[in-house]
Amino acid sequence: TGDENIVDVGFKVLWRIKNTRDGINDYLFNIQEPAATVKAVAESAMREVVGGSNIDAILTENRVSIQNDVATLMQTTLDAYRAGIEIAEVQMQRVDPPAQVIDAFRDVQAARADQERIRNQAEAYANQIVPEARGKAAQVLEAANAYKEQTIAEATGQSQRFTKIYEQYRNAPDVTRERIYLETLEKVLGTNNKIIIDSQTSGSGVLPFLPLNDLNGRSAAPAARTGGN
């Protein structure tokens, strides 16, 4: 074969005498042993065509093309001999590696089949996993863009708020400073427990402690009961 392998080919050639006066004359007077001539030409043509083909093509998908090429080459050769013979058909019947290496060849074919199967599985896995990865990447990108827009909006709002406060501070610094101080105290003390100590009662024997949280809880409980009645 063309890829330096050896293959045994069994084939059949269907031929007939050309149905013309010249064809009959050529068949009768130009060749002595027509069957032997056809056999020799067929073997030579098959060797030439097989010698230009790869073994995989010979064993599998390319048989029809090989048969046609052999028939064409045989017809050309017999016409050059003026044999008066027309090739009707070439049929490849058995194509095998030599018996001595057929087991090893089958192992190679099985390995190639496994290789093709694994490649197909890998491609199928890639076709499944790549879109999922792209979808996750797009999702992460959208979340990042949303966080970016949110952060920019918050920063813009804060900067605008600071600018407005600064404008008010320039117009009335004392009032603005006091308002900011009170708002800050409200935020800090609004959610914490508070204890008020009067420094002026120090040494008077009166405990300087006012439990505002307890008092608020006691005053809220009767109000709740009253509302229920």
CATH of the domain at 49: 3.30.479.30
Q: Mean pLDDT over residues 163-185, rounded? A: 82
More confident residue, 147 or 162: 147
Lowest mean pLDDT among 64-73, 83-92, 190-199: 190-199
Q: Is residue 205 part of a domain?
A: yes
Give the pTM: 0.46
- Is residue 2 helix, strand or coil? coil
Structure tokens at 45: 């043509």
How many domains does the chain contain in total? 2
Last residue of a domain, one of 63, 96, 129: 96
Q: Measuring CA to CA, which residue among 125, 46, 124, 136 is closest to residue 92?
A: 46
DSSP 8-state secondary structure symbol assigned to residue 92? E
A 10 A CB-CB count for 199 gives 6
Q: Is residue 137 part of a domain?
A: no
Tell me the C-alpha distance between 92 and 60, whole Å. Answer: 12
Q: Is residue 72 part of a domain?
A: yes
| Chain position carrying tokens 């006691």 | 218
**What is the pLDDT, as a whole number, of residue 73?**
94
| Chain position carrying tokens 């044999």 | 83
Tell me the C-alpha distance between 21 and 181, whole Å. Answer: 126
More confident residue, 106 or 209: 106
**What is the pLDDT, as a whole number, of residue 226?**
46
As a residue count, the chain comes to 229
**What is the pLDDT, as a whole number, of residue 229?**
41
Q: Is residue 50 part of a domain?
A: yes
Residue 227 pLDDT exceeds 50: no
In Å, what is the CA distance from 224 to each residue of 133, 206, 212, 213, 217? 57, 32, 18, 17, 11
Q: Is residue 47 part of a domain?
A: yes
Tell me the C-alpha distance between 179 and 176, whole Å. Answer: 5
Last residue of a domain, one of 96, 122, 153: 96
Residue 228 pLDDT exceeds 50: no
Lowest mean pLDDT among 9-18, 73-82, 86-95, 185-194: 185-194
DSSP 8-state secondary structure symbol assigned to residue 207? -
Q: By residue range, what is the domain housing residue 72?
A: 8-96
Residue 25 pLDDT exceeds 50: yes
Q: Mean pLDDT over residues 36-62, rounded? A: 87
**What is the pLDDT, as a whole number, of residue 212?**
60
Residue 205 pLDDT exceeds 60: no
